[in-house]
Amino acid sequence: MMGHRQVEQGALFYEFSLERHVPPDHVLRSIDRFVELGEVRRELAPFYSTMGRPSIDPELMIRMLIVGYCFGIRSERRLCEEVHLNLAYRWFCRLGLAGEVPDHSTFSKNRHGRFRQSDLLRRVFETVLRRCVREGLVGGEGFAVDASLIKADANRQKGIEGEKGLPPESRGRAVEEYLAVLDDAAFGAATEVTPKFVSPADPAARWTGAHGGQAFFAYSTNYLVDVEHAIIVDVEATTAIRQAEVLAAKRMIERSMERFALYPARLMGDSAYGSAEMLGWLVHEHGIEPHVTVFDKSARKDGTFSRDDFTYDHADDVYRCPGGKMLTTTGALVNDGATMLYLASKHDCDGCPLKTQCCPKQPARKVPRSIHEGARDMARQTAKSWEGRTSRRLRKKVEMLFAHLKRILKLDRLRLRGPTGARDEFLLAATAQNLRKLAKLIPMPNLQPA
C-alpha cells in the first residue's frame, strides 16, 4: 500500500533534546571528556574591560576552535556556519538548539585580538597534555623530535629581494611581529645569512626550497613526541632553518622538564639534531642518551684517508694513523673554541710510504676532534645497536603525526600571519591531535565491552 504524503504542520509545542540526537559513539562525545576549560576566564580576565557590552564567551571560542582543528575546518566563516548547522557541534559548544553562533567577523576579531595578546592556547595545550599524563599515555622514557615545513600565507610571486629589505611603507601586525623577533634565535637571529626573498605580507616567513621543487615562504612546526603512544609533549614555531629547529628542540626538552618533570632517558632524531654541540648538550648537560644520526662530513672524496681511518687512544689522548704513527695535540681550541687539532710529526710524514694516500699536498697530517666527540662516539655506537635500530623505527611516529596534520587536519598552509599566528595554529593543531589520541585510546565508559 502506497504511503500517504506527509504534509508539514506547525506544532504548538516541540520536545527536542540535543543529548538524544548526538550518537553515543560520536568522536566529540569522547573528546568532550578531556576538555577542561575552567581556568579560561581567569586567564583572559586582564584582557577584558570591566565596562561595555559583554563579548563572546571565551570558552565558546575555544570549543569552536577545537572543533575546527579536529575536523579540518580551516575557514572561520565556514566554521561558524558548520557550528550553526551541525547538532553535534552545537552540543559540544554548549549552545543548545537556540544558542546564537557568533558572527564570523566578530569571532575573528576576538581571536586575533585577545587570544594573541595572551598565552591562553599554550595553557589549553598543556592542560590536555596533563590529562594525557594522568591517563598514563606519556611514559617519559623515550622522546622523538622533528620539524616539518608549513607554507606561510604569503604569495611566492610577490617576494622582495632580501638584500633590498622591506619597503618603508610596509605596515601591519605581521611586520610588527617580524621586527619584534629580529633578535630571537628562533627567528631573525637564527642565521646571519640574508634570505633570497622576503615576503612583505609576512616577513618572518623564510624563503626555502628544502622540498626540492618550487621554493616558497614557510614556517617550521617542531614536535617533541613521547614515542610510547605518540603523544605530543611540546610544540614550537620557528623560522624554516635548521639552526632554529635545533634551538626549538632544546627549548621543548627544557620546558617539558620544568613544567611536567619529564626527564627522557633517550632522544631520537635525524641528522639535523646530530651536530657535536647538540649531542654534547644532550649527554653532558642533561644525561640523555642520543639515539640521533650523527651529522658528520669528515669523509673525504679525493681518495685520501678520512678521519675514521685514524684510531683515537683515550688513555694517551692521541690519534694513531694507518701507518702506526702518533698525532698529538697542544690542547689549544680552534673553530670558535669547540675543536682541537691533532698534528702528526713532519719527520714521520716525510718518510711514510702512505703519504700520497694521507696528505699529498701538506707537510703533515692534521686531524680535528670536537670537544664533544665523546657524545658523538656514543651516538655512533648506539646507532649500531639493536636499540638504535628500534629507535629509527619509532622515530617515524613523528613523521606520521606530520602526515596526519597535513592530510587529515588540512594544515598544509597557514591562515594566520606572523610568528604569533604560526604559534597559535601549531598549538591548536597539536591540541587537536592529542585530544583525538585520547578519544581513541581511552574508550567511553558505556562502550567498554563486557
- pTM, full prediction: 0.89
Please provide the average confidence, as pLDDT, over all residues in the chain.
Answer: 88
Residue 12 resides in a domain: no
Distances in Å between the Cα of 342 and the Cα atoms of 303, 329, 359, 364 are 21, 5, 14, 10
pLDDT tens digits, one per residue of 361-419: 889 999 999 999 999 999 999 999 999 999 999 999 999 999 999 999 999 999 999 99
Looking at the structure, tell me whether residues 359 and 330 fall in a common domain. yes
The pLDDT, as a whole number, for residue 166 is 80
Q: How far is CA 53 from the centre of its chain?
A: 39
Contact 437, 231 (CB under 8 A): yes
pLDDT band of residue 331 (cuts 50, 70, 90) is confident
> pLDDT tens digits for 204-232?
999 998 877 889 999 999 999 999 999 99
* Domain co-membership, 91 together with 147: no
Residue 436 C-alpha cell reads as: 583525538
Residue 270: inside a domain:
no
Which domain range does residue 88 map to? Answer: 18-118
**Cα distance between residue 236 and residue 221, in whole Å:** 6
Assess whether 187 and 230 both reside in one domain. Answer: yes
Q: Is 32 helix (H, G, I), strand (E, B) or coil?
A: helix
- The residues, ordered by sequence, that sit 6+ positions from 53 with a Cβ below 8 Å of its Cβ are none
Pair (181, 257) in one structural domain: yes
In sequence order, which ranges of 71-135 are alpha helices (DSSP H)?
Answer: 76-85, 87-92, 104-117, 120-134
Together in a domain, 68 and 98? yes
In a domain, residue 83? The reply is yes
| Cell numbers for 189 | 637571529
Helices (H), 181-286: 242-260, 276-280, 286
Q: Do 254 and 152 share a structural domain?
A: yes
Q: Within a domain: residue 379?
A: no
**Do 362 and 414 belong to one domain?**
no
Residue in 435, 442, 448 with CA at minimum distance from that of residue 63: 435
Tally of domains within the chain: 3
- 296 pLDDT more than 60: yes
Question: Within a domain: residue 292?
Answer: no
Residues 77-110: tens digit of each pLDDT: 999 999 999 999 999 999 888 888 988 888 888 7
> 64 in a domain, yes or no?
yes
Same domain, 59 and 143: no
Is the pLDDT at 450 greater than 80? The verdict is no
- Residue-wise DSSP of 151-168: E-S--GGG-EETTT---T
Amino acid 250: pLDDT: 95
pLDDT, one tens digit per residue, over 22-44 is 888 899 999 999 998 877 777 76
Query: Does residue 437 lie in a domain region?
Result: no
Query: In this structure, is residue 190 part of a structural domain?
Result: yes
pLDDT for 68 beyond 80: yes
Q: Are residues 247 and 354 in the same domain?
A: no
Do both 75 and 176 map to the same domain?
Answer: no
CB 420 within 8 A of CB 177: yes
